[in-house]
């Protein structure tokens, strides 16, 4: 368990709702949920994951910290915004789900083998290298995320998508040689570093 | 010409539902001059369209009859039907109201014999039954309608049918030349009792009221259960006319929802509990989908009684959306229940949406500065001068509370015109 996680456990003790309100993006909305069930029933991913948003919000109130933060549910959210459009209380559900996922990740207790989490990490690393996303490299990394053989299978299964992106000029085969990047790479890295420092200072301030 | 005498000691009541009638009668019986302006061709408002009243399950016709008799007998009340206030200006003790009166084409000679109705062919959507059936071009809006006079639909004018109606009348009661009139009234105090209207179910897209025949509203369900109503009191599926034996009720349809009406309409939980008794009486099963049951005030015992009925099941969940089984025409309710987070997709034979109540007031006819809350209801506060709101013009209320608020408004209005009388010596 990470240091930060231990600190948070000690700080908020049994009040997970308070912890969420203070540390999770849009977390202070959670208490507004009236448990009507519309988001759970409207979510296209609903049938496939452990806890729909409605249940996650109830679990937060019930103090089920570990279960929530290590849940794969938030990572399944496709950002379709169905839930936000339908919630009678206008909770920013999508953002809370992402916020929870991010918080779990920051504390080091997000599920390790969740594909979206891995994708996000690769996406981030890819972005950090050049300041832009290199679709080809990201795609290749993702294909081989489960090992070489599975990667070839993935590649074959998705070749239609790749070809489509290529035709639509979204995928440039020359990118394998380095790829496009922003003009001032070191400037960008400095900026991101600063932003990370600010974010970390903010989190420590909350401790 | 309509001849109406009004002074600034007169009280104007806008809207002749149970609230407006109560205010008008209380004030008139206390000796004040009252003018009651009603948009429909008859008084009574929406309670005339209910089959039974909660909590006693008695018939609204009973109280309605008493009020109509009181109105008929009291010379202090002048009733203008098919009339609307189109503008109001002035201040406490000195208001000026413009009233537009639409032609009925039938005068006070009418005995309600019905000969004109038999003579005509044209039919129109029957608003009284929320469009579930048609009425003839010459009609009595409902069997107890007061004033007891027929109405000729304006679309009839200039047709051969209208002439047939006129020819059929032995009492010289039909006048096809009647014109719209506008009268100006000077009054001292004004009570708005403009009531409510059901929230437009078409706007609740996921429930498919506009797409699925067997999804209806609670107000339509009331009409269906009335033995004098469009289905003769039978609960029939609009798709195939078969009796529905498995009925679902969806609570908060359009209420407590920032996408629709933000407020809780307050009466629809009780209305649904009442309607499950209609279903049980018809040997049908009910399933109520709800967020929480708000059996206001002392009605908790009514809820408990319904809970004991084995024909009624409660599912704590706001239905997410409705789809349809094409073959059977059964609506399928989809959602997740809150007690266990179980996903369901349950077909029912008929679905009743417990639609919310929204104010029917057109605020643009009010003088400036009148206090209206975020839901569109008039707020009774001290800054409104001699203008008051009774019944559902002020909030979503049941009849009992609507009448209480109407009586309070009568007292307030009487105080205003008494002050005017005092200062005029
Ligand atoms: C499905 C359902 C079931 C219900 N069942 C029950 C029940 O069992 N028991 C119970 O206590 N309550 C019940 N209610 C609530 C009940 O209907 C209301 O409490 C009652 O109708 C309020 O009366 P009102 O006079 O305030 O308004 P309304 O009945 O709406 O009357 C307002 C009148 O004003 C007129 N009007 C509107 N605007 C103008 C204008 N600009 N100029 C002139 N006239 C105008 C209208 O034509 C109407 O006649 C039910 C409601 C619903 C939705
Ligand atoms: S739709 Fe909104 S209020 Fe309803 S359960 Fe989901 S988050 Fe809560
Ligand atoms: S935005 Fe995410 S949580 Fe909301 S409905 Fe879509 S997939 Fe479900
Ligand atoms: S208008 Fe004439 S015919 Fe028609 S109901 Fe009245 S009295 Fe009878
Ligand atoms: S009274 Fe019941 S059904 Fe109506 S809005 Fe309130 S909670 Fe919903």
CA distances from B105 to B39, B40, B149, B153 (A): 15, 14, 10, 8
**Does residue A73 sit in the same domain as residue A160?**
no
Are residues A164 and A80 located together in one domain of the fold?
Answer: no
Same domain, A53 and A80: yes
Give residue B249 CA to ligand 5 midpoint distance, Å.
12
Using the CB atoms, write b or e for B95-104: b if 16+ within 10 Å: bebebbbbbb
Q: Which ligand is nearest to the CA of A90?
A: 2
Tell me, yes or no, whether A134 and A73 share the same domain. Answer: no
State phi, psi for B168 to the nearest 5 degrees.
-75, -20
Q: Has the ipTM of the complex gone over 0.90? A: no
In a domain, A204, yes or no: no
| Tokens (6 digits) for B346 | 């349950």
- Asked if residue A73 has its Cβ within 6 Å of ligand 3, the reply is no
**Which tens digit of pLDDT belongs to each residue from A31-76?**
999 999 999 999 988 788 889 999 999 999 999 999 999 999 998 8
The answer as to whether A176 is a domain residue is: yes
CATH of the domain at A48: 1.10.1060.10
**Boundary-marking domain end, from A96, A111, A126:** A111
Residues A128 and A96 in one domain: no
Within a domain: A168: yes
Which pLDDT band, with edges at 50, 70 and 90, does B296 fall under?
Answer: confident
The verdict on a CB contact (< 8 Å) between A38 and B320 is: yes
User: Token pair 């920013």 is at which residue?
Assistant: A92
**Are A52 and B336 in contact (CB < 8 Å)?**
yes
Any domain includes A8: no
Asked if B357 contacts B262 with a C-beta cutoff of 8 angstroms, the reply is no
List of residues 6+ apart from B157 with CB closer than 8 A: B105, B176
Based on the fold, state whether residues A79 and A125 are members of the same structural domain. no
Region(s) of chain B under CATH 3.50.50.60 = 10-102+180-195+360-424, 199-357
Q: Are residues A107 and A29 in the same domain?
A: yes
Same domain (yes/no): A72, A21:
yes
Q: How confident is the model at residue A190 (pLDDT cuts 50, 70, 90)?
A: confident
Q: Within this chain, do residues A186 and A120 fall inside the same structural domain, yes or no?
A: yes
Reported confidence tier of residue A111, pLDDT bands at 50, 70, 90: confident
Is residue A128 in some structural domain?
Answer: yes
Contact B72, B146 (CB under 8 A): yes
- Nearest-Cα distance to chain B for A96, in Å, is 19
Residue B141 confidence (pLDDT)? 97
Position A5 in a domain:
no
Find the domain containing A106 and state its range. 13-111
* Domain presence at residue A189: yes
Structural contact between residues B49 and B144, judged by C-beta atoms closer than 8 angstroms: no
Superfamily of domain B10-102+180-195+360-424: FAD/NAD(P)-binding domain (3.50.50.60)
Task: Report the DSSP pairing between strands B189-192 and B10-14.
Answer: parallel
What local confidence, expressed as pLDDT, does residue A91 receive? 97
- Contact at CB, A36 and B318, closer than 8 angstroms: yes
Q: Which CATH number, 3.90.1170.50, 3.20.20.140, 3.50.50.60, 3.30.360.10, labels domain B199-357?
A: 3.50.50.60
Q: What's the rounded Cα separation, in Å, for the pair A149 and A153? A: 7
| Domain limit, last residue, from A111, A140, A172 | A111
Q: Which residues of A touch B317 (CB under 8 A)?
A: 36-37, 41
Return the ligand number nearest the Cα of A48: 3
Beta carbons of A88 and B259 less than 8 Å apart: yes
Q: How confident is the model at residue A162 (pLDDT cuts 50, 70, 90)?
A: very low
For the segment B280-309, the average pLDDT, to the nearest whole number, is: 95
Counted domains in chain A? 2
Average of pLDDT values for B168-175?
97
Domain assignment of residue A7, yes or no: no
Q: For B339-389, what is each residue's pLDDT tens digit?
A: 999 999 999 999 999 999 999 988 888 888 899 999 999 999 889 999 999
Average pLDDT score, chain B: 96
Span from the CA of A183 to the centroid of ligand 5 (angstroms): 59
Å between A16 CA and nearest CA of chain B = 21
Are A82 and A120 contained in the same domain?
A: no
């Amino acid at each position: 368990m990470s240091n930060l996680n231990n600190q948070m456990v000690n700080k908020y003790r049994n009040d997970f709702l308070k912890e969420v309100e203070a540390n999770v993006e849009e977390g202070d909305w959670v208490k507004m949920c009236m448990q009507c069930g519309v988001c759970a029933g409207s979510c296209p991913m609903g049938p496939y994951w452990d806890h729909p948003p409605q249940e996650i919000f109830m679990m937060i109130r019930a103090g089920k910290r570990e279960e929530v933060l290590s849940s794969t549910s938030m990572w399944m959210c496709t950002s379709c915004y169905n839930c936000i459009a339908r919630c009678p209380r206008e909770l920013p559900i999508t953002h809370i789900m992402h916020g929870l996922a991010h918080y779990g990740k920051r504390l080091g207790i997000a599920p390790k083998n969740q594909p979206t989490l891995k994708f996000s990490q690769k996406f981030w690393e890819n972005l950090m290298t050049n300041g832009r996303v290199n679709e080809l490299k990201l795609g290749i990394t993702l294909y081989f995320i489960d090992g070489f053989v599975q990667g070839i299978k993935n590649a074959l299964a998705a070749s239609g998508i790749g070809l489509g992106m290529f035709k639509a000029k979204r995928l440039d085969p020359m990118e394998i040689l380095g790829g496009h990047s922003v003009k001032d790479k070191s400037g960008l890295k400095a900026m991101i570093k600063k932003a990370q420092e600010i974010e970390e200072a903010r989190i420590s301030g909350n401790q | 010409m309509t001849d109406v005498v009004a002074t600034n000691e007169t009280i104007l009541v806008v809207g002749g539902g149970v609230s407006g009638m109560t205010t008008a009668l209380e004030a008139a019986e206390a000796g004040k001059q009252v003018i009651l302006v009603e948009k429909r061709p008859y008084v009574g408002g929406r309670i005339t369209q209910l089959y039974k009243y909660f909590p006693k399950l008695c018939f609204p016709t009973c109280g309605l009859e008493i009020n109509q008799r009181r109105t008929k007998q009291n010379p202090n009340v002048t009733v203008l039907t098919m009339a609307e206030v189109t503008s109001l200006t002035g201040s406490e003790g000195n208001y000026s109201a413009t009233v537009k009166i639409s032609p009925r084409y039938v005068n006070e000679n009418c005995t309600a014999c019905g000969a004109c109705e038999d003579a005509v062919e044209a039919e129109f959507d029957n608003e009284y039954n929320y469009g579930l059936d048609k009425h003839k071009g010459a009609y009595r809006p409902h069997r107890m309608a007061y004033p007891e006079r027929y109405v000729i639909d304006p679309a009839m004018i200039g047709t051969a049918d209208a002439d047939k109606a006129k020819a059929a009348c032995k009492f010289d009661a039909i006048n096809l030349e009647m014109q719209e009139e506008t009268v100006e009234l000077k009054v001292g105090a004004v009570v708005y009792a403009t009531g409510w209207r059901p929230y437009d179910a078409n706007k609740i897209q996921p429930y498919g009221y506009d797409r699925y025949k067997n999804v209806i509203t609670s107000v339509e369900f009331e009409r269906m259960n009335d033995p004098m109503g469009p289905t003769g009191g039978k609960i029939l599926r609009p798709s195939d006319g078969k009796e529905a034996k498995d009925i679902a009720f969806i609570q908060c349809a359009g209420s407590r929802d920032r996408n629709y009406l933000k407020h809780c309409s307050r009466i629809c939980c009780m209305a649904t509990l009442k309607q499950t008794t209609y279903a049980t009486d018809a040997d049908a099963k009910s399933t109520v989908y709800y967020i929480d049951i708000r059996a206001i005030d002392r009605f908790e015992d009514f809820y408990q009684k319904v809970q004991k009925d084995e024909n009624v099941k409660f599912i704590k969940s706001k239905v997410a959306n409705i789809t349809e089984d094409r073959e059977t025409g059964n609506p399928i309710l989809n959602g997740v229940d809150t007690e266990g987070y179980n996903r369901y997709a349950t077909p029912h034979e008929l679905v009743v949406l417990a639609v919310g109540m929204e104010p029917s007031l057109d605020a643009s006819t009010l003088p400036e500065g009148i206090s209206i809350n975020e839901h569109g209801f008039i707020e009774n506060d001290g800054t409104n001068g001699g203008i008051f709101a009774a019944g559902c013009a002020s909030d979503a209320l049941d009849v009992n509370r609507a009448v209480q608020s109407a009586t309070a408004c009568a007292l307030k209005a009487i105080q205003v015109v008494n002050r005017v009388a005092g200062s005029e010596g």
